[in-house]
Copies of this chain bind each other. A is one copy, B any other.
């Protein structure tokens, strides 16, 4: 069990040793720890090794010139210059927030970035400005379009954060697949089957074996099978891909560069790096912020008071599970499984820092 502060300091030190400036290392560490605290460990400490190896392979720019390359009053395209994803994403969201201050809303498409951790982190940055925050990103292709067996899309998440008055904010942060890639990996490690409707084999037959992904299989989109509307999940995932990549000039779909160094760079590219999309809407560009936030309180109270199904004691609001997890882990500390612990020790030794 590690206090989150210990993991924050370690993560910051790792990225500083890799050559990142202090401000950048702070942001990077903050996103890593936010992922752990919010219960998305698949985007937490386990990813440090990936970044470390990408850096050793010269596939990450630790001194990037993250900059606006095109803009209008409410929009910008940001070039991440090969930055650690958190650095490009954080700067892009700041630009979206600045745009909204004058134009009412801000919309930023970012190219030349890398894996940025959890989308919800950036969406939530809007909250303290009384803005709605939105964040999308594309990701390494693992997911097949409806009626296809080709891996064309990532788990392409959508995050939306909406402020309330007395209630905690509404924060949705979800992949556009029925299940996260990380959860399939866990099931595979445990030798467990998964429900049909999450993955398929290399002919498109339904499978309950998570290891099918290593045998030419693919993940299905939200909806699962055709009878349950997986073409809608395909639409969603495609929209995230186009907004994140085509709009700003990043690589789309099957051309997204691998976020791990053990996979080679692709031969063909359709843009620069991984792409993200950020949105901000200033509440008072629509109505006075307090009135809106009080109505959001009523929205949240109304939905919280809806009748639970048999066997459940309450109905949740998006953001509840992550907030509960965070409260717990801030107090109790973060568990790191031993394989990851060993990886981090090796990295620490390589970089001449300490991890115990």
Binary interface profile of A, 222-265, with partner B (CB < 8 Å = 1, else 0)? 11100111011111101101100011110011100000000000
Chain A interface residue bracket vs B: 35 or more
Q: A203-B310, A204-B309 are in contact. Are A239 and B160 (CB under 8 A)?
A: yes
Give the complex CA separation of A72 and B283 in angstroms: 11
Which residues of chain B have C-beta atoms less than 8 A from A39's C-beta? none
Q: Smallest Cβ distance from A280 to chain B, in angstroms?
A: 11
State A298–B105 Cα separation when bound (angstroms): 30
The answer on a CB contact under 8 Å between A315 and B147 is yes
Given the complex of chains A and B, what is the CA–CA distance between A306 and B148 in angstroms?
7
**Shortest Cβ distance from A123 into chain B, in angstroms?**
11
Once the chains bind, are B246 and A310 in contact (CB under 8 Å)?
Answer: no
Does A92 belong to the interface (CB within 8 Å)? no
Contact bitstring A94-130, B, C-beta under 8 A = 1, else 0: 0000000011110101000000000000000000000
Q: Which of B71, B234, B286 contacts A77 (CB 8 A)?
A: B286
Given B252, B285, B287, B309, which contacts A74 in the complex, CB threshold below 8 Å?
Answer: B285
**Closest chain B residue to A173, Cβ basis:** B235
**Cα–Cα distance between A207 and B241 once the two chains are bound (Å):** 35
Q: Does A302 contact B (CB under 8 A)?
A: yes
Known: A144-B309, A147-B309, A222-B223. 8 other contacts (CB 8 A): A74-B104, A109-B286, A145-B303, A147-B314, A148-B307, A149-B307, A204-B310, A222-B232
